[in-house]
Amino acid sequence: MSKVIHCMQKVEKWGIFEIALEGKGDGNPFTDYEIKAEFTGENEKKTVDGFYDGNGIYKVRFMPSFEGIYKFRIYGTYAKEDGCEGTFEVEPVSEGNHGPVRVANTCHFAYEDGTPYYSIGTTCYVWTLQSEELQEQTLQTLKESAFNKIRFCVFPKHYDYNFNEPYSYPYEGTPVDSSGLTRNNFMEYNGCPDGNHWDYTKFNPKHFEHLEKRIRDLMDLGIEADIIVMHPYDRWGFSLMSKEEDDLYWKYLVARCSAFRNVWWSLANEYDLMPQKSIADWERYASILCEKDVYGHLRSIHNCKKIYDFTRPWVTHCSVQRIDPYLSGELVTKWRERYQKPVVLDEIVYEGNIELNWGNIPGEEMNRRFWEGAVRGGYPGHGETYLSEDQILWWSHGGVLKGTSPRRFQFLLKILKETPGLGLKETQLNPYTEDLMATVDSLIPVPYYLFYYGFRCPAFKEYYFDDEKEYEVEVLDTWEMTVTKCGTFRGKFKVQLPAKQYIAVRIYEKGLI
């Protein structure tokens, strides 16, 4: 007979119910035994995989999507005797918990509770694998920023400016000796050089536990964790595992992390730089994800030069690295139309001053690209690569921000949050003008217009929407982060502008905002 447990654990809706159980520790518990759990509430019934956490302990996690009493039943070959069953209660959400982010329409996101989510993302590829001190600093920086999404990897990164050993490794074993690594020879270590000794059937639970701690820290800050599951920048061999090893890894990761409401899945960073993986492989990982992540977290895959086929049904949103040296945010319109899914620009060149051309635009250009993309209804992402004596570059390591663009995103986010509805949609009132303008993305027209003039410097503009409504007009300096109210207008009207770059104009029916 099953052991019966009545959990006293306080679980809120979209929180995590976790239970740890002793089980068989002989052989290789990661592969020899399985643990599953069935959760039944009034409104949902879900079966999830548990996972082995080392030292004879198995764990099961579950994210309830409703309040009320849940029953659970845990079973599988893991148990020395029987499994167990029990109940627990799900309470209302605490402040700041809006549930997982979902795709709300063909363009925008919203939290599950309906609150619109305007992604302002950043990238710190391996911030969780740096020193404890640096990780804490990164969290402090994030706390003070506008960022509400961060992309980062499970595996460590081997690349220029990334020669150090990680905080921990995902597997049992020992890494290749990196004491002779320099900028000049690092390419020779790519892939799986002699000297790596890993058992890809034995995970290092500490590595994942730490990852989860950081996902939880991000959750506490209201930041989505866009987890990059695979990537090509590798000297340890993690990018060259077999099909079976890959699948084991995917299942283990999903069993551990999918109960975190702020998780997004990025199948890869630059999938197309991993020739060892075929499209069939990516599709197989996606099918594992769709089966094992019972919560349907957001899923996408990020490219280097060749965009993945985002029409695939498992792809919830586009995750694009810019594919043109000049255009990034400008292409959102094209991608929106083509894919009919939200467009997240997960690389639009990083603000910085390194020699590599994906990391050396100034803050002004970064902020311009954000606005260009955002006004088109897309969600540009940030990264930062300023050279530093201590070799700490935000883009990979986190730390502090040195650039001038991030604080401008606070202003953009404020403007987005003030937009009625789910988000913006580029609209052409008159194709001849080349004015970039957004209205509210909704079925019912909303008298709200957001113009963005980018590098253009008009000294005035003339507007006409209708003869009836009274419109409030505001000039937004997206660089200086100021809003200047110009008064109210009706009919055809002229607005004086400051004849400088990076100006937006917001016009809406009086009283709308």
Interface residues with a second copy (CB under 8 A)? 325-327, 330, 352-358, 360-362, 365, 387, 433-436, 453, 455-462, 499-501
The type of residue at 300 is S
CA distances from 402 to 363, 368, 390 (A): 10, 18, 13
Q: Name the β-bridge partners of 90.
A: 11, 68
Q: Considering the complex, what minimum distance in angstroms separates the CB of residue 46 from a second copy?
A: 45
Q: Considering the complex, what minimum distance in angstroms separates the CB of residue 366 from a second copy?
A: 10
- Which DSSP helix (H) or strand (E) runs through 211? helix 205-220
Q: Considering the complex, what minimum distance in angstroms separates the CB of residue 499 from a second copy?
A: 4
Q: Based on CB atoms, which residue is closest to a second copy, 355 or 467?
A: 355
- Rounded Cα distance, 506 and 508, in Å: 7
Cα angle value 72/12/413 (rounded, 5°): 135
The type of residue at 223 is I
For residue 137, the SS3 value is: helix
Question: For residue 399, what are its two tokens?
Answer: 């730390």
In 3D space, the residue among 332, 328, 391 whose CA is nearest the CA of residue 357 turns out to be 328
- Rounded Cα distance, 162 and 156, in Å: 9
The type of residue at 299 is R
Q: Considering the complex, what minimum distance in angstroms separates the CB of residue 326 from a second copy?
A: 5
Q: What is residue 68's DSSP assignment?
A: E
CB atoms within 10 A of CB 192: 17
Q: Considering the complex, what minimum distance in angstroms separates the CB of residue 508 from a second copy?
A: 21
- Rounded Cα distance, 50 and 255, in Å: 6
Q: Considering the complex, what minimum distance in angstroms separates the CB of residue 454 from a second copy?
A: 8
Q: Considering the complex, what minimum distance in angstroms separates the CB of residue 482 from a second copy?
A: 19
Please, are residues 250 and 288 in contact by the beta-carbon 8 Å criterion? yes
> Which residues are CB-contacts of 355 (< 8 A; sequence separation ≥ 6)?
none
Q: Considering the complex, what minimum distance in angstroms separates the CB of residue 379 from a second copy?
A: 20
- Rounded Cα distance, 417 and 503, in Å: 18
Q: Considering the complex, what minimum distance in angstroms separates the CB of residue 333 from a second copy?
A: 11
CA distances from 417 to 98, 146, 421 (A): 15, 12, 9
- Rounded Cα distance, 283 and 243, in Å: 12
In 3D space, the residue among 440, 454, 438 whose CA is nearest the CA of residue 367 turns out to be 454
Dihedral of CA 479/483/487/488: which sign? positive
Q: Considering the complex, what minimum distance in angstroms separates the CB of residue 461 from a second copy?
A: 5
Question: For residue 295, what are its two tokens?
Answer: 């919560």
Q: Considering the complex, what minimum distance in angstroms separates the CB of residue 184 from a second copy?
A: 9
Q: Considering the complex, what minimum distance in angstroms separates the CB of residue 305 from a second copy?
A: 9
- Rounded Cα distance, 123 and 352, in Å: 13
Q: Based on CB atoms, which residue is closest to a second copy, 255 or 504?
A: 504
- Rounded Cα distance, 146 and 45, in Å: 36
Q: Based on CB atoms, which residue is closest to a second copy, 211 or 495?
A: 495
- Rounded Cα distance, 308 and 510, in Å: 44
How many helices (H) and strands (E) the chain has is answered by 9, 32
Q: Based on CB atoms, which residue is closest to a second copy, 133 or 355?
A: 355
- Rounded Cα distance, 76 and 257, in Å: 20
